[in-house]
Amino acid sequence: MTIQLLAMTSVNVGAESALNKYLSVVGPLMQSAGAKIIDRFELANSIVGSNEFQYVTLIEYPDEASVSKVFDSEEYGSLDEVKRIAFSKYQVSVIVSM
């Protein structure tokens, strides 16, 4: 059963090096797990509430094992400091259809 994740992020200004490091690790991890980006959006403005996130990305994984392959990996775990530098906001959540 496919698993869909919603990644909500805001990138720190001037953190291109950290962002590129993050992407250079996570991209191949996602590819090896069979994940694919379904859609990506930049949030233009909020009608109600704050502009907490800049980007929203919908990602599909083949199954729970493939999600674990990425997020439980040593490579992903080593990115904590890189994520702190690259992102001011970073949240990844499993979503389900209602």
Rounded Cα distance between 52 and 75, Å, is 27
The predicted structure's pLDDT at residue 47: 86
For every one of its 98 residues, what pLDDT tens digit does the chain have, with 9 covering 90 and above? 999 999 999 999 999 999 999 999 999 999 999 999 999 999 998 888 888 899 999 999 999 999 999 999 999 999 999 999 999 999 999 999 88
The predicted structure's pLDDT at residue 37: 97
The predicted structure's pLDDT at residue 18: 98
User: Exposed/middle/buried for 49, CB within 10 Å: 0-12, 13-18, 19+?
Assistant: exposed
Sheet hosting strand 55-61, strand order edge to edge: 36-42, 55-61, 3-11, 87-95
Into which CATH architecture does domain 3-95 fall?
Answer: 2-Layer Sandwich (3.30)
The predicted structure's pLDDT at residue 98: 83
The domain locations on the chain are: 3-95
